[in-house]
Amino acid sequence: MPWLFLLLALGALVLAFSTTSVPLAAIALLLALVFIVIGVLGLLAQRVGSQSRSEAMMVDPAELRRLREQAEARRAAGAAPADPTPHDPH
């Protein structure tokens, strides 16, 4: 969609430089400026939108706390010493 505004700006510039009417040229130049600003802002909005993270992928604080507790429990279970008494069948 931003490309459409940039094409409209180009068309307004062509109109401004090809007309012999001063008021029409002034209006066309003003429209070209407006279309260029809208087009550039649209391109920037697309770029920012494509690089931002989805809110659905973010972890809420309660879920983050639960995951940390699970990780600590796993670490504690892994650090527990093995059973020192050998199991001799005799």
Which residue bears the tokens 């209006």?
Answer: 27
Distance, CA of 40 to CA of 61 (rounded, Å): 37
Under a CB-based contact definition with an 8 Å cutoff, are residues 51 and 43 in contact? no
Of the ranges 33-37, 51-55, 68-72, 85-89, which is most confident?
A: 33-37
Cα(44)–Cα(1) distance, integer angstroms: 12
Q: Give residue 83's pLDDT band: very low, low, confident or very high (50, 70, 90).
A: low
**pLDDT tens for each residue of 38-67:** 999 999 998 887 777 666 677 788 888 998
pLDDT tens track for 4-32? 999 999 999 999 999 999 999 999 999 99
According to the model, what pLDDT value does residue 22 have?
A: 95
Structure confidence at residue 4 (pLDDT): 93
Residue (of 51, 49, 40) closest to 2 by Cα position? 40
